[in-house]
Structures are given as structure tokens and as C-alpha cells.
Structure 1
Amino acid sequence: YAASAQNANRGSRATYIGKGKVEEISETIVRENIDIIVINGQAKPQQIHNLKIYLGKFKPKIVVWDKVELILQIFSKHAATSEAKLQIKIAAMKHMGPRIYGMGFIMSQQGGGIGTKGIGETNTELMRRHWRNEMRQVQNELEKQTDNRERQMENRKKTGFQTVSLIGYTNSGKTTLFNSLTGSHNLVENALFATLDSNVNKLFLKEINKEIYLTDTIGFIQDLPPDLIDAFRSTLMETIHADLLLHVIDITDPRMTDKITVVENILRDLGIDNKNQIYVFNKIDITNGVNQDDLISQFGSFHPEFISAEKGKNLESLLEQIQILLSHPV
């Protein structure tokens, strides 16, 4: 692979990146035999289209993605349920607009063309009309699934069950912790967005003789576009309505503090930054001398716990803290 950087002030309305940088990239494509170009930013569909046209002169099958489309491609790879697939489709359609039908992202799901033009209707108008109709159809289908999820959550509350939700930056170890606490066997991967759906399982808290629900859902990432957050609001409902949040943090990550801020900002955007939280510092079995006392001093109001989800270390202490906060909400 090859990497290149550009001053943000030197971009182009037509191609997102400047003319000189585009020419440099075209040379790199040929020299390094590059197949995919990824822009670390959010470009407009027309800018992506223009880049593909220009770079295609040097490599006809070149693929050009921006950050949002890269995330969507990863999402698409990991989506296992119809709900997740619908959410991805909505996010893709919002991001790319009607041009999505000519960009190959979901053409395989269309089952044919995009319909017949009306009298005097241009191809662009046809795509817009089809885009509106399909967006309405997909949103209606997702709404049905959202209603079903809401009913499930309401039934839990009616029967007296409390819910604890695992949150955190992607790849922080949430699913490993979920499996360790509940005895589940959900797929654990060292990969971004390995979990896209909400996994729910019961957890028995012996000290208070009570069964609760534990949920594991999608991980967050820096500069996650609002359309993606909005599209996955159905999945995030488990977090939005939880009684307690377990914010799982990779203590070995050099950017740990920055990633904590990213997660907190997303919680604020969702309107749930005032929920009770436990900061769960994970992977203490492989940490490189991080001072736990400093973290306790810095994040004491978030009831910090230090664990190894993979090794099962200090999970009893975490469970005790969960029981305390559920029994005596702050």
C-alpha cells in the first residue's frame, strides 16, 4: 500500500483533493499497482465520481472510497441480521444519494434495473425517483423491526428486568467481556466493527439475587458521520434505554484518552451522556505500566474497574460494582 497527505486548505471542489495531489496519486497507482484509493474524509458523491473518471485513465478498474464508504463496506462484511443490513443500506443511500445506483454499492441487491422512465423524465430524474421510493420502503421495513425491538425492551421493563449495556470504541474488547460475563460464544475478532447487531443475554447477580440483561452493540469510531449514527439508532436503542453503561476501554491503546473523548461525545449526541457509567479498563494482562492510580484520580466519578476480559481477571470486582450501581442509582 501507499499513503499520501495533503493540507486541508488545498482541496478541490471537483475532486476533493487538489490537482497536484491527484496527479501524484495517479503515478502511485501505476508504480505500486494500487487497486483501491481511500480518502480519509467525507467526500461528495460527485467528487468520488470525478476521481474515478480521472484515475480510471491509469487503471480502468480503480475503486475510490471515502471514509464513510470504507466504514459501510466493513459494516456490510459483518452484517448478520436483516436489521443491520437495512441500517447499512439506509446509511449508504443517504451518503451517496441517487448516484448509488451507478456506483456498485448495492446494485447486487436491486434484483434488476431501476425501472422505466416516465414521459420526458431524464436518467437523473429516474434515479432520484427510484431513490426516494426505495428509501421510503427500506425505512418502513426498518421501522417495523424497530417497533419489535421496542416491544421487547418494554416487556423486559414490565417484568422488572434492568439492562446493562456495553459501549466503547470499536475493538476495545466489548464482545470478549460480554462472552466472559454471560457464558456466550459470540464471534470475537481483532477487527473493526466485528459487532453490528445488539447481542442480548441474561446475567445473574448473586449478591442481590437478581437477573439482569446485558447487551453488546456496535463500537464507535472517531468522526463517525451523523448519518451512520442516525441509521444505527435502532441498534443503539439498547444503549439509549439501558439502566447502566459499561464503557469498555483498551488500556493498552496509546490513544486511550482520545478514544474515551470520542465515545463520550457520541453519547452526548445521543442524549445519554448523563447515564450512570462504569469505566472498564480492559486488557490489564498486557498493559505496559499504565498507572491505575492516575486513572482512578482522573476518572473517579465513573467508578473505574481494571480487568482482563480474556483472562477473566477482576470480573468479580466489576460485578460487585454493577450490583451496587443498579441497587443504588446515583
Structure 2
Amino acid sequence: MSTRDSNEVPLTPVILVGVDFGLPNFDAELEELGLLAQTAGLQPVARVACKRKAPDAALFVGSGKADEIRMLAQMHHAVEVLFDQALSPAQQRNLERHLDLPVNDRTLLILEIFAQRARSHEGKLQVELARLQYLSTRLVRRWSHLERQRGGIGARGGPGETQIELDRRMIGESIKRTRERLSKVKRQRSTQRRQRERRDAFNISLVGYTNAGKSTLFNALVKARAYAADQLFATLDTTTRQLYVAEAERSVSLSDTVGFIRDLPHGLIDAFQATLQEAVDADLLLHVVDASNPGFPEQITEVQRVLREIGAAEVPQILVFNKLDGVAPEQRPLILQDTYELAGTPVQRFFLSAKSGEGLASLRQGISALVPRVQALSMTLVNDVEFPPDSV
């Protein structure tokens, strides 16, 4: 007899598929895709990983592997197939016909999670824009049941083509409206930033790979109650609180931002530019790393890549190796404060556990010592800027 609560919604069984094209850091166990699926309320029941030199133009994995996936889905009663890589609209359509099941990719999965988690008006707008941009490339498969028919001489197209044209126009108008509403939000944020600058505010942003413990550290530093959970993308909306820095004898603004992830959809990076602007405009970044994850070097690289993409690569950083309580005793560092090279530059690193509080005092002292130095450097850079004669 099942022990599941009668009111609990059963999880949707899905098959996970990943293809190794010889690129570094391939997740052969599809662990991250599985965590994403569970975060979205899905239950992985089987995993398929294969190697190919290049994607199959029609079915991405080839017909033989597609047949294997279909048999696995029937065996495990799966109702959906998830791919770890982005699929083209044609590949997605062909796979759905071959497998007779809905097929989605990592991009849509991340979009679905963001749609579930967004709470603020701005967050919902950003998710909607990214979803519309993704959907606009999938219009062909949305209306594949309406066959394109050919009539007499000179007649082309059919009901399917007409519906696609209508949908494309409606989605285009929705994208335009959403962009305009986001632009208004950005202007409001810009006004708020100017007000902070007039108050001589110092801004610190928490960045890092998703589930590195940013929100837990945020709560520990400012005694806040921001939502924190051991899951991917627990935080989407930026939260800002005041943090008192003893050595500098002042308060600074501390912001918790959305986590990064490998292959973050470019549409999401563009759509979340307003939220990520907190990191771009920060005076200091606390780059939080999951020290208990053996793949942390790759995660650091991915975060640095996204920071470059959004224009925040030059913002000073402190590396915070969190989750020290999850590191095996024989692998614990001998000292809890040292330096770590980022792009050839030594950066201060602190080992701590935001959950237990171990090492938190050292980080506070490090921030206290660094704030005056970063602020002095910022003032020097501003004073050294030469403005053209006609500038205002």
C-alpha cells in the first residue's frame, strides 16, 4: 500500500537524455538535469547518456537511440522526455513524432522553474519575456496538427500557415509590450540607484552558482528571513538589506541575486538584465561557492563567464567557499582564509558554513577591511576620468 498522502500531487515521470559531444565537463550522470527536473516537480525514472561526434540533424540522438528511448519510456510509463542540451524546433518536432511523447529541453525546463518561482512584478515580467522569446521559435511545432494544404494554381499555404502568422504577430506584440513594461522597471531601478549614490551608499551583491547557499549566507549576515532551501533557483527576486560594517563604521547595502547555472538560456540573461544589474552596479561581489561540490571549479568558471557577459567582470570580488560543514574531515582546509586565482589575479578566499556560523566572523572582518579600500579605489578611478569638453 502506498504511503503517499492522498492530497499530494503525484510527480510526473520523465526520461532524462544527455549527449556527450566531447566537450569538457559533460555531466554523464545527468545529475544537474535531474535536480532541475525535481525542482520543476518532475520525477526522473530513467537516464540515457550517449556519445556522438555531432547532433543528428533530424532526431539529435539518431534513430537507433531514439528507439531505445521510446522503449524505456514505455517500460517506465514516462510521459515526457527531457534533453540536457538545447534542441532546434525541427529536432523537437521530429522527436515528438518518433517517440509519441512531449519532448522538451534544458532551456524550457529552466524557464518553467523561473515561471514557478518568480514572485515580484519585475521577476514575472522577465520570465514572461524569456518565455515569449522561446515560444516564438517554436511556432511551427505548436500548430503541426494543421497540415499545410495546397489548393489550385497560385494557391499556397493553408490553415496552419495562417494560424502561425497570427500567432507570430500576437507574440511579437506581447514581446513589445513586455519590453516596454520592463524598460519602465529599469528606469525606476536607475532612479533608486542614483538616490543610493547621492547617499554615498556602498553596494555588495551575492553572486554564485545556484544552490551554493547564497540566501543562507544572506540571512546569516543581515539576520533576515529570505527564503532559503536546498534546491536549485530557490531565490529569483533580488532582496536587499542593510549590513553594518564595524571597521568602516558604516552600513552597506547587501543584495541577494538569482543564481547562475551552466547553459543559462541567453534569453533569460537578456530578460533578467534588470535584476542582474544589481551585480553590475555593485561595488563588491561576494562570489559564493559550494565547497562540498567536487565540480566547484567548473561552477566558478561558469559564474565568471556570466559575469563577463553582463558586464560585471571588473567588479572586485571576495570568494566565499560555503558549506564547509559538508566537506569530509580529511578534505577540510588547514586554514580558513587564503587567496585563490581568478583569471590570473589572486582573490581573497574565506571558508565558512553559513548554516553553522563557522568562519562567518572572519568574513565579516574581511568585508570590513575591504570596504574602505574598494571605496578609495573607486573614488580614485572617478577622479581620473577625463570627460570630453562638451560633456555635461
TM-score tier by shorter-chain length is 0.7 to 0.9
Contact 2:93 2:141 in 1 (8 A): no
Match of 2:173 in 1: 133
Unaligned runs of 5+ in 2: 1-44, 144-160, 378-392
Query: Against the structure 1 CA distance between its residues 295 and 266, is the aligned structure 2 distance closer, same or farther, given a 3 Å change threshold?
Result: farther
- Provide Cα deviations, 1:159-186, integer angstroms capped at 9, x if missing partner: 1111000000000000000001111101
Aligned pairs for 1:278-293 (under 5 A) are: 278-288=318-328, 289-291=331-333
Quick one: which amino acid aligns to residue 117 of structure 2?
H
SS of the residue 1:258 aligns to: helix
Q: Indicate yes or no: 2:55 matched with 1:11.
A: yes
Which residue number corresponds to residue 107 of structure 1?
A: none
2:280–2:315: 8 Å Cα contact kept in structure 1? no
Choose from 68, 86, 90 the match for 2:129. 90
Give the match for residue 39 of structure 2.
none
* TM-superposition CA deviations, 1:198-257 (whole Å, max 9, x none): 111111112221011000011011122322211111110111100000001111111111
SS at match of 1:178: helix
Residue 41, structure 1, aligned to residue 88, structure 2: no
* Deviation digits for residues 27-51 of structure 1 (CA, Å, limit 9, x no counterpart): 1111111122110101123322332
Compare the two structures and name the one with the higher strand fraction.
2
The DSSP-based 3-state class of the residue aligned with 2:97 is helix
Q: Distance in 2 between matches of 1:204 and 1:223?
A: 36
Unpaired runs of 5+ residues, structure 1, are: 57-61, 105-120
Superposed displacement of residue 290, structure 1: 3.5
> Given that residues 248 and 282 in structure 1 are in contact (C-alpha distance below 8 angstroms), is that contact kept between their aligned partners in structure 2?
yes
The structure with more radius of gyration: 2
2:93 paired with 1:53: no
Offset at 1:100?
5.7
Q: Give how far 1:17 is off.
A: 2.5
Query: Whole-Å Cα distance in 1 between the matches of residues 139 and 115 of structure 2?
Result: 15
After superposition, where does 1:195-274 map in structure 2 within 5 Å? 195-274=235-314
Specify the alignment match of 2:227 in structure 1: 187
Instruction: Compute the RMSD of aligned alpha carbons.
Output: 2.3
Identity among equivalent positions (%) equals: 35
In structure 1, the residue matched to 2:214 is 174
SS in 2 for 1:328: helix
Specify whether residues 226 and 263 from structure 1 end up closer, same or farther in structure 2 by C-alpha distance, changes over 3 A only: same
Aligned ranges 1:98-177 → 2 under 5 Å:
99=138, 122-177=162-217
What's the counterpart of residue 75 of structure 1? Answer: 114
Contact 1:198–1:215 (CA<8 Å) still a contact in 2? yes
2: CA distance, partners of 1:13 / 1:77: 32
Letter in 1 for 2:106: K
Q: Secondary structure at the match of 2:278?
A: helix
Q: 1:239 to 1:297 in 2, by over 3 A?
A: closer
Change (3 A) 1:280 1:131: same
Q: Which moved more, 1:152-161 or 1:243-252?
A: 152-161
Greater fraction helix: 1
Q: Is the Cα–Cα contact under 8 Å of residues 99 and 127 in structure 1 kept in the other structure?
A: no
Deviates more, 1:154-163 or 1:13-22: 13-22
Cα distance per residue 1:1-29 (max 9 Å; x no partner): 11112323353323322111111111111
State the shift of 1:91 in Å: 1.3
What is the match of residue 355 of structure 2? 310
Shift of 1:294: 10
Give the Cα separation in 2 of the matches to 1:141 and 1:297: 43
In the alignment, structure 1 residue 66 sits paired with structure 2 residue 142: no
Q: Say yes or no: does 1:296 pair with 2:330.
A: no
Conservation of the 8 A alpha-carbon contact between 2:288 and 2:322: yes
| Residue 141 of structure 1, CA deviation | 1.1
1:48–1:65 CA contact under 8 A, matched in 2: yes
- Report the count of equivalent residues: 311
For 1:234, the aligned partner's letter is A
Q: Structure 1 residue 87: deviation in Å?
A: 1.1
Distance in 2, matches of 1:213 and 1:294, equals 25
Runs of 4+ in 1 over 4 A off after TM superposition: 100-104, 292-295
What letter matches 1:317 in structure 2?
S
TM-score by length of 2: 0.74
Deviations 1:275-311 (A, max 9, x none): 1100011112231223355983544821111111111
Q: Secondary structure at the match of 2:167?
A: helix
Report the secondary structure of 1:187's partner residue. coil
| Aligned counterparts of 2:358 and 2:288: Cα–Cα separation in 1 | 14
Higher deviation after alignment, 123-132 or 235-244: 123-132
Q: Is the 8 A contact 2:206 2:214 kept in 1?
A: yes
Q: Work out the CA distance in 2 between the residues paired with 1:26 and 1:78.
A: 32
Report SS of the residue matched to 2:346. Answer: helix
Equivalent residue number for residue 114 of structure 1: none
**Cα distance in 1 for residues equivalent to 2:248 and 2:140:** 55
Distance 1:267 1:10, change over 3 A: closer
User: How far does the alpha carbon of each residue in 1:54-77 deviate from its partner, in whole angstroms, 9 at most, with x for none?
Assistant: 322xxxxx3321010111111112
Q: TM-score, normalised by structure 1?
A: 0.88
For residues 207 and 72 of structure 1, the distance between their equivalents in structure 2, rounded to whole angstroms, comes to 42
